[in-house]
């Protein structure tokens, strides 16, 4: 159907179709919409071009930042002894939006995944070790998703951190609040049994 479109429009549709969650139909609709808004094209085009030059990683925690040090690392009121390891900036923001954690973060950006070629080198743990020593961190909280690669990465990091005088913890795994037990999957139930809370005695 797009054979009759002008070449620039076809190129734009194909580029937009390469983005996650955008099919050829949405790409076509977006392109025609943009065509009717020259001002937006100028603004949006510039923003997209500048994005990788403006946004970089905080030199301490590797969170997204437009300055050398991100807002969280600059915040001196946070609990200096806690360091929470997250997979990516989206997870960091999710934890921040809930507001239950007041320590600092370290963003991995990758999980171990031999299939995708992400090995220990990509995790960049040198800067993590440096941060732990420099800040005098006392507890490292592993907050990676309880998936195959998340678990493998947590285990690997825990192993690396073993020689250091640190408490290492991992977010609890179990039945989500509000879920009926009958709908919990076997693996989750197993984790819930293993990690069961002591209410009395011991």
**What x-and-dash track marks residues 73-102 binding a second copy by CB under 8 A?**
---------------xxx-xxx-xx-----
State the burial class of residue 12 (Cβ atoms within 10 Å of its Cβ: 0-12, 13-18, 19+).
Answer: buried
CA gap 81, 85 in Å, rounded = 13
CA gap 103, 84 in Å, rounded = 7
Contact call for residue 4 and a second copy (CB under 8 A):
yes
3-state secondary structure of 64: strand
CB atoms within 10 A of CB 191: 17
Shortest approach of a second copy to residue 118 CB, angstroms? Answer: 13
Only segment of 10-18, 143-151, 164-172, 194-202 that touches a second copy (CB under 8 A): 10-18
46 or 116: CB nearest a second copy: 46
The partner residues of 56 in beta bridges, in order of sequence, read: 65
User: Which tokens go with 191?
Assistant: 């984790």
Contact call for residue 26 and a second copy (CB under 8 A):
yes
Radius of gyration of the chain (CA): 22
Is the CB of residue 168 less than 8 Å from the CB of residue 158? Answer: yes
Contact call for residue 55 and a second copy (CB under 8 A):
yes
Shortest approach of a second copy to residue 62 CB, angstroms? Answer: 13
Shortest approach of a second copy to residue 84 CB, angstroms? Answer: 14
Task: Give the one residue of 1, 100, 177, 181 binding a second copy; rule: CB under 8 A.
Answer: 1
Contact call for residue 46 and a second copy (CB under 8 A):
yes
3-state secondary structure of 105: strand
Contact call for residue 107 and a second copy (CB under 8 A):
no
Residues lying near a second copy in the complex (CB under 8 A) are found at: 1-9, 11-12, 15-16, 18-22, 26, 28-35, 38, 40-52, 54-55, 64-66, 71-72, 88-90, 92-94, 96-97
């Amino acid at each position: 159907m797009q054979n009759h479109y002008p070449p620039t429009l076809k190129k734009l549709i194909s580029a937009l179709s390469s983005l996650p969650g955008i099919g050829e139909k949405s790409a076509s609709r977006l392109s025609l919409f943009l065509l009717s808004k020259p001002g937006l094209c100028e603004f949006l085009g510039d923003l997209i071009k500048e994005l990788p030059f403006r946004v970089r990683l905080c030199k301490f925690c590797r969170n997204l930042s437009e300055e050398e040090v991100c807002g969280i690392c600059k915040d001196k009121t946070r609990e200096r002894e806690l360091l929470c390891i997250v997979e990516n900036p989206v997870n960091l923001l999710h934890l921040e939006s809930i507001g239950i954690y007041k320590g600092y973060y370290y963003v991995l950006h990758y999980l171990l995944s031999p299939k995708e070629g992400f090995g220990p080198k990509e995790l960049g743990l040198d800067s993590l070790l440096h941060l732990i020593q420099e800040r005098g961190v006392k507890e490292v909280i592993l907050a990676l998703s309880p998936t195959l690669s998340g678990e493998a990465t947590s285990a690997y990091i825990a192993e690396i951190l073993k020689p250091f005088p640190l408490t290492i913890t991992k977010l609890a795994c179990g039945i989500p609040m509000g879920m009926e037990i009958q709908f919990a999957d076997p693996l989750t139930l197993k984790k819930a049994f293993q990690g069961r809370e002591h209410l009395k005695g011991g």
